[in-house]
Amino acid sequence: MLQEGANVVLDGSDIVVPGFENGYFVGPTVITGVKPHMTCYKNEFFGPVLLLMEAETLNDATDILNNNPYGNGSVIFTANGAVARKFINEVDSGHIGVNVSVPIPVPMFAFTGSRGSFRGDLNYSGRSGLQFHTQLKTVTQHWGENLADMRRQVSFPE
C-alpha cells in the first residue's frame, strides 16, 4: 500500500491487548490516498481498517464503488436527501449507510454482501431465506436537523 502511494494516517499494527500479548490483533487503522490501481483497493478488508478514497463527483464515487470487485458496504455523509437517494439506488453494495459510520443493521436483517463479498446460496437470516436468488440492499440512515451539529457516532446505536 505505502509503496503504491497510500498513506496510513492511523496505524493499528502495533496494538497490544492486555492478557493476549502473544495474539494477532490489528487496532483501528485508517488509510488515505487510496486509488483504484492499488492492491488495497483490489482486496476486501474486514476489521478495524478503513480505506478512504476521494472523488470529484457523486457519479465518480459511484463508479469507484461499482468497479470494485467486492460489494460489502458503502457509506455516504450528506445533508441532501436527493443525493442520498441517488447513492442508495446506484451503488451496488449489500449494505448502504447514509450518515452512519458502519452500515451494518441490527441482527434480524440479513448479511447482504454483494458481488465478491457474498458467499453461498442464501444470506443466513432475514427475508432472503424466502427471496431465494434476489439481491437485497439494506440501507441504514441517520438524519438530524443540521448535519454539521450532529454528534459523530462510531458505535452501534443504543
Handedness of CA 120, 125, 129, 133 (dihedral sign): negative
Report yes or no on whether pTM surpasses 0.95. no
pLDDT mean over 53-57 = 92
pLDDT mean over 89-108 = 81
pLDDT for 87 beyond 80: yes
Mean residue pLDDT across the chain = 81
Cell of 11: 496505524
pLDDT mean over 78-84 = 95
CA distance 22 to 43: 27
Residues 6 or more apart in contact with residue 138 via CB below 8 angstroms: 94, 95, 96, 103, 105, 109, 110, 112
pLDDT for 9 beyond 90: yes
pLDDT value at residue 114: 64
Of 98 and 153, the one with more pLDDT: 98
